[in-house]
Structure 1
Amino acid sequence: DYGIFYEFMPLAELGKEFPKTLQLDEVEIGVNYALIISTTGGLWRYLIGDTIKFTCLDPFRIKVSGRTKHFINVFGEELIVDNADEALRQVCEKTRSSIKEYSAAPIFMDGTKAGGHEWVIEFIDPPSDIEYFTEVFDNALKSINSDYEAKRYHDAVLCMPKVRQLPPGTFYKWMQKRGKLGGQNKVPRLSNSRDYINSIMEVVDEG
Structure 2
Amino acid sequence: MDAVSSIEGRAIPFGAKNVDTDVIIPAHWLKTVSRTGLGKGAFESLRKDPDNIFDRPEYAGAPILIAGDNFGCGSSREHAAWALGDMGIQAVIAPSFSDIFSGNAFKNGILAVELPQEQIDRLMEVAETDPVHIDLENQTVTTPFQDRFHFEIDPFRKHCLLEGLDEIGLTLSSAPAIDTYEQQRAAHMPWLEPTMERT
TM-score by length of 1: 0.26
| Greater length-normalized contact order (CA 8 Å, ≥ 6 residues apart) | 2
